[in-house]
Homo-oligomer: A and B are copies of this chain.
């Protein structure tokens, strides 16, 4: 038998736009629609034309090639005909393939929020569906609060679903709007609805308020539903919508879904899942969730020693799917919880291949342990780990040596009587026989020190000309200012490559100095092909 078709409906640009702190521009919306289209999503809900100028403009032209471009809106108001409702008119004017109406399916809401009769709500629903069908649109209906409504008044919730179906809607979507329903209840209720509206015409729209949106979506599919609504990275109001990225990973790799169902995302698109997820974060300027299923930077990372040796021997032992399937990669973290095999595989990943029995692996491990006891962490600082290993191997030349530095921060009134703060640094460096003395001002002590350090490294200066600071992080261990400070510095160059170094000291300037000089040393190692 052919696998059943399951349809994916993305609402990143509509429900996802309700996320705290998310604010799409027109360019963002166009970029996200393209991302979804390439991934193989079936329906891309672009927004609510007529509700705001941005969404109206976005719907001036169709924004997808393969996916059905879908406009979201309310059913017509009670007391006027669909043809005389400006909201419906704006929806029908949108250059969309499909229209998704939202209708209330909880009698309590119809009374409290809409303040109309239950019958008028059903009539508005069927008239709206018919009006959109007449204009040649594919129509679906989001039954808002369906599960709460069903528990309160099953007959009325079912009447809404039946009315939408009988009016000709291709999809009747059962929404857990408040996100409070758990999977077993979702499965039971969807199965009951499927006796009224065939499962092939049912959809599920889950929210993550109980941390179960993905499982709830799968539960609905088990009960017969064949459309899943969700968002990239689980964007959405409050705790977010069902995460389509996670769902795609599960539907493509887990049984019985992978065998019994097909989705629009093919194997090639699946291998872009990680980059698609990160691309959305990039558009929104959000830090990616390291722990996201399938696509997080840590999703295939192992820290424990015993696990690490097994992962290297046989990845299947500790990986539920191969990371390459979803475009992600395996990482074995360096930490004093890990052992020799962690270190060896990490060295291999950064390009230092040592024999399993090489005694220097033990020396690198000892050095990592010694430094971690002082407060270092190499998990996020590959470049410092690389330098540590290369130093143990005796392969780092003495590029330059800072003989002294000083940093001064002064706050005082200037000649105009204004309070100003000035930060300046002086660095004296020896590069072979050459001695340089550089001074720089910065908007803070670390910035000044960084600028002074990179101002004149003699014969190496041309090699670090394009070096720049990308990110700077500080973590204090234990309480008080006299605790140990750990600084992580991410650097980059003109080629787009970035690398991270770490420094530790009770003194934040010292710690920053160490991370800054390591960053320069790493860049010089790379430039000289070491």
A residues within 8 Å of B by Cβ? 17-21, 23, 25, 27, 52, 108-109, 112-113, 177-180, 182-184, 208-212, 214-216, 218-219, 222, 234, 237-240, 243, 246, 249-250, 254, 285, 290-294, 296-304, 306-307, 309-310, 313-314, 317-321, 333, 336-337, 377, 379-380, 402-413, 421, 423, 442-447, 450, 469-483, 485, 490, 505-510, 513
User: In whole angstroms, what is the CA distance A296 to B184 when docked?
Assistant: 25
Evaluate contact between A301 and B445: CB separation under 8 angstroms: no
Q: How far is the CB of A479 from chain B (nearest CB, A)?
A: 4
Q: Given known contacts A25-B478, A314-B112, is B254 in contact with A210 (CB within 8 Å)?
A: yes
Q: Whose C-beta in chain B lies nearest to the C-beta of A408?
A: B408
**Chain B residues near A407 (CB-CB < 8 A):** 408-410, 445
Evaluate contact between B445 and A507: CB separation under 8 angstroms: yes
User: In whole angstroms, what is the CA distance A108 to B113 when docked?
Assistant: 58
Evaluate contact between A447 and B481: CB separation under 8 angstroms: yes
Evaluate contact between B413 and A313: CB separation under 8 angstroms: no
Evaluate contact between B405 and A410: CB separation under 8 angstroms: yes
Q: Whose C-beta in chain B lies nearest to the C-beta of A242?
A: B211
**Chain B residues near A475 (CB-CB < 8 A):** 285, 474
**Chain B residues near A479 (CB-CB < 8 A):** 27, 469-472, 490
User: In whole angstroms, what is the CA distance A238 to B23 when docked?
Assistant: 30
Number of copies: 2
Evaluate contact between A238 and B299: CB separation under 8 angstroms: yes
Q: How far is the CB of A412 from chain B (nearest CB, A)?
A: 4
Q: Whose C-beta in chain B lies nearest to the C-beta of A26?
A: B478
Evaluate contact between A480 and B471: CB separation under 8 angstroms: yes
Evaluate contact between A404 and B410: CB separation under 8 angstroms: yes
Evaluate contact between A212 and B214: CB separation under 8 angstroms: yes
8 cross-chain pairs, A with B, having the tightest CB-CB distances, nearest first: A180-B320, A215-B215, A404-B412, A444-B507, A211-B246, A447-B481, A406-B410, A474-B474
Evaluate contact between B377 and A477: CB separation under 8 angstroms: no
**Chain B residues near A405 (CB-CB < 8 A):** 410-412
Q: Given known contacts A180-B254, A337-B18, A445-B445, is B481 in contact with A450 (CB within 8 Å)?
A: yes
Q: How far is the CB of A53 from chain B (nearest CB, A)?
A: 9
Contact of A337 among B52, B310, B333 (CB under 8 A): B52
Q: How far is the CB of A446 from chain B (nearest CB, A)?
A: 5
Evaluate contact between A476 and B285: CB separation under 8 angstroms: yes
Evaluate contact between A313 and B112: CB separation under 8 angstroms: yes
Q: Whose C-beta in chain B lies nearest to the C-beta of A486?
A: B23
Q: How far is the CB of A177 from chain B (nearest CB, A)?
A: 7
Contact of A303 among B20, B314, B380, B411 (CB under 8 A): B20
- Point out which of A211, A293, A402 has the most chain B C-beta atoms below 10 A from its C-beta: A211
**Chain B residues near A113 (CB-CB < 8 A):** 306, 309-310, 313-314, 317
Q: Whose C-beta in chain B lies nearest to the C-beta of A335?
A: B23
User: In whole angstroms, what is the CA distance A325 to B366 when docked?
Assistant: 50
**Chain B residues near A302 (CB-CB < 8 A):** 237-238
Evaluate contact between A211 and B214: CB separation under 8 angstroms: yes
Evaluate contact between B472 and A480: CB separation under 8 angstroms: yes
User: In whole angstroms, what is the CA distance A290 to B240 when docked?
Assistant: 10
Evaluate contact between A470 and B476: CB separation under 8 angstroms: no
Evaluate contact between A477 and B25: CB separation under 8 angstroms: yes
Q: Whose C-beta in chain B lies nearest to the C-beta of A375?
A: B23
User: In whole angstroms, what is the CA distance A210 to B242 when docked?
Assistant: 12
Contact of A480 among B209, B238, B408, B470 (CB under 8 A): B470
Q: How far is the CB of A423 from chain B (nearest CB, A)?
A: 6
Q: Whose C-beta in chain B lies nearest to the C-beta of A234?
A: B291
Besides A21-B290, A178-B318, 5 other A-B contacts (C-beta < 8 A): A177-B318, A234-B291, A238-B296, A239-B299, A445-B508
Contact of A23 among B285, B377, B402 (CB under 8 A): B377
Evaluate contact between A444 and B506: CB separation under 8 angstroms: yes
Q: How far is the CB of A139 from chain B (nearest CB, A)?
A: 21
Evaluate contact between A411 and B421: CB separation under 8 angstroms: no
Evaluate contact between B215 and A336: CB separation under 8 angstroms: no
User: In whole angstroms, what is the CA distance A299 to B179 when docked?
Assistant: 10
Q: Given known contacts A21-B377, A113-B317, A212-B214, is B411 in contact with A447 (CB within 8 Å)?
A: no
Q: Whose C-beta in chain B lies nearest to the C-beta of A243?
A: B211
User: In whole angstroms, what is the CA distance A145 to B317 when docked?
Assistant: 9
Q: How far is the CB of A341 from chain B (nearest CB, A)?
A: 12
User: In whole angstroms, what is the CA distance A196 to B402 when docked?
Assistant: 69
Q: Given known contacts A21-B379, A212-B214, is B478 in contact with A483 (CB within 8 Å)?
A: no
Evaluate contact between A20 and B333: CB separation under 8 angstroms: yes
Evaluate contact between B447 and A238: CB separation under 8 angstroms: no
Q: How far is the CB of A42 from chain B (nearest CB, A)?
A: 21
**Chain B residues near A20 (CB-CB < 8 A):** 290-291, 297-298, 301, 303, 333, 379-380
Contact of A481 among B234, B379, B444, B506 (CB under 8 A): B444
